[in-house]
Amino acid sequence: MNTPAEPPSHLLSIAVSTPAHSALGDLLSYASAAPLPPGTLVRVPLGSREVLGVVWDAPPDGGAPLPEGVAPRAIAGVLEGLAPLDAPWRRLVQFAARYYQRSVGEVALAALPPQLRELGPEQLARRLRRAPAPSSPATAAPEVVPSPEQAHAMAAIEAGPGPFLLFGSTGSGKTEVYLHCIARALAADPAAQALVLVPEINLTPQLEARVRARFAPLYGEAAVVSLHSGMTGPQRLRSWLAAHAGQARIVLGTRMAVFASLPGLALIVVDEEHDPSYKQQEGARYHARDLALWRGHDQGARVILGSATPSLESWHASSPATPGDARSGRYQRLSMPSRIGAGELPQVRIVDMGQQPRGSAFSPPLLAAITERVQRGEQCLVLLNRRGFAPVLHCHACGWKSDCPHCSAHQVFHKSDRTLRCHHCGATSRVPRACPSCGNLDITPIGRGTEQLEEQLGSLLRNVVVGPQGRAARVARIDADTTRAKGALEEQLAHVHAGEVDVLVGTQMVAKGHDFRRITLVAAVQPDGALFSSDFRAPERLFALLLQAAGRAGRDAHYVAAQGSPPEMWIQTWHPDHPVYAALRRHDWPSFADQQLAERAGAGMPPFAWQALVRADASTQEAAQGFLTAACEAARAAGLPGGEQVHLYPPVPLAVQRVANVERAQMLLESGSRTALQRFLAAWQPLLHAERARHRGLRRWLIDVDPQAI
């Protein structure tokens, strides 16, 4: 006789990725035949689907009771063989969800590898059986002798709790400080782990190679793993499992890696901490640098922020403590102003384009400087942060422009394949033979992109002979268009490092982090656009981009000395007297940062205030702004907690207000109290849900806390 199965008797709180703004709450209740510890991964039914969930800590008050007559659904299975996600990881997710105004389940499940979210218990068991055994270490790598500045920074980091802001000029050897601190942390505890964050995928392979060279001989090849969106599903799962099990001692990754499960976390490094790429722009809009700081404090791990151009938030936090300013004096600032090997920073030369021939992409002095460098066998980098051949095609007869039919933006002209592409929605069309409006055959490109600069430089340098070998000059381009294929970026960078490229044209993706040993001249062709942006952070970002780009020149002091001429940074501008360029000429980030902070303090802007954006996407601009206006009125009528300290600005369209036939509007909230802003946003959520039901044209809304672009 068969014994009937025991009915589920334990009620569990489980985090699942509920539909966005579903108002279902943070955690859902499910029944289980046996108690399961928090952090256990389970499969649960959700509607008609079966999804991954994380058993969560029971609410202190026991949670809201189930409605009368409603029985909880039973879990479908447990992913056994995998240790539960520990309490520090759950606290990190809980904090991120609360601070960035998202659900716990949304943040928790987004933090897990996509392939793990699809695996059932049997599939995971098979995957775990295939996991590679840890490799055995070999002989230790030789120690690198630090410079005096590096040694001072290393000693300070070992002596204090941090957080630390490592403010080092480009080429000062910040990476070596990171590696030394990682080595000390791993040697001190056999279970210790280190997390190293970089802003972009293209910087990960370069740093990974250097980290492997240092630590694989000590701990084995499996001790170093990467985590970023450029990896395949199986690769990401393999790295995540290694980190979760403690086999991976060092995890390198982009912003998503801040949520990696690291039970032995002892050190966090955030390289290029100023970079806006650390801010997530979809879903839960977290800032990885800020979460790294919170996680380090929560788990007792040291945190090192590194940059040659720190964010103004970090710069202010590392300034001497000031009475009445709780944000100052929180970090310890460590300065490394000198380049390794006594290398000198590039001389900054400003070219007034008002004094140059009209219509020329390259001024005669800059072209002469590039030609001279190339003839000697040196390399040059030309920076233009705009891809394509030209931003727009234009008909002078009737005024037609290559507007995107789905966005309030132009389609960019790409000459290589004769297409017009929208860089917002991806819509692509063939270049018309004549003006679609009036039939004029003379439609012309307006403005310049990297593709056009590559073509013009190839023509201007076609007769230039390079070095004693007497070959023709070679021009290459690296941007998002030339690096789409897998491995394309690594291949092109290898050509540059091998000296097979004389002039490299590129966007910001080649302006930071790369160690080009033979580049001695960097030129910024059209940087002025950011000077007059509506975003108050634009000057800070422009200065950082140009200073980082300048840092690509003259990194090898011995090579520069052998060539006999100092490295240079050329800037072509219509505003040569602008304070940004004046400070850049002196390589004076501290003065520029202090001046910007004084302006922001006077205007009550971050880091002296806290902001949030509420954005609405709708079928019409009227519907988007109508929702935001109604939500604002509802908040005022309700007298929400903290509301007296929160200022709500009127809703306005986004700079690009229509994308993929969706109209977008936003409303800015600002407060001198972070606590008041958070209380207000949390209490506002139910009203936003209610208003959504009353606005039929609304497609979605979201809250962006600490926005990085306004």
**Sequential DSSP letters for 416-435:** TTTEEE-TTT--EEEPPSS-
Instruction: Give dist(CA 695, CA 641) in Å, integer.
Output: 25
Task: Give bridge partners of residue 381 from the DSSP assignment.
Answer: 504, 522
Q: Specify the amino acid at residue 212.
A: R
Q: Is 632 marked as a binding-site residue?
A: no
Q: Is 407 marked as a binding-site residue?
A: yes
Contact 436, 420 (CB under 8 A): no
Residues 6+ apart with CB under 8 A from 349: 365, 369, 568, 569, 570, 571
Phi/psi at 611 (nearest 5 deg)?
-130, 160
Instruction: Give dist(CA 273, CA 270) in Å, integer.
Output: 5
Burial class (CB in 10 A: 0-12, 13-18, 19+), 682: middle
Q: Which two tokens stand for residue 329?
A: 């004096």
Instruction: Give dist(CA 480, CA 462) in Å, integer.
Output: 25
CA separation (Å) from 370 to 365, 382, 522?
9, 10, 9
Instruction: Give dist(CA 401, CA 410) in Å, integer.
Output: 7
Q: Specify the amino acid at residue 477.
A: R
To which residue do tokens 């310890």 refer? 332
Tell me the CA end-to-end span of the chain in Å, nearest whole number: 70
Instruction: Give dist(CA 262, CA 249) in Å, integer.
Output: 9
To which residue do tokens 């001497």 refer? 320
Q: Which two tokens stand for residue 426?
A: 């991806």
Q: Is 422 marked as a binding-site residue?
A: yes
Task: Give bridge partners of residue 306 from the DSSP assignment.
Answer: 166, 271
In angstroms, how far is CA 418 from the centroid of its own chain?
Answer: 31
Q: Summarize the annotated binding site as residue ranges.
A: 395, 398, 404, 407, 422, 425, 435, 438
Q: Summarize the annotated binding site for Zn(2+) as residue ranges.
A: 395, 398, 404, 407, 422, 425, 435, 438
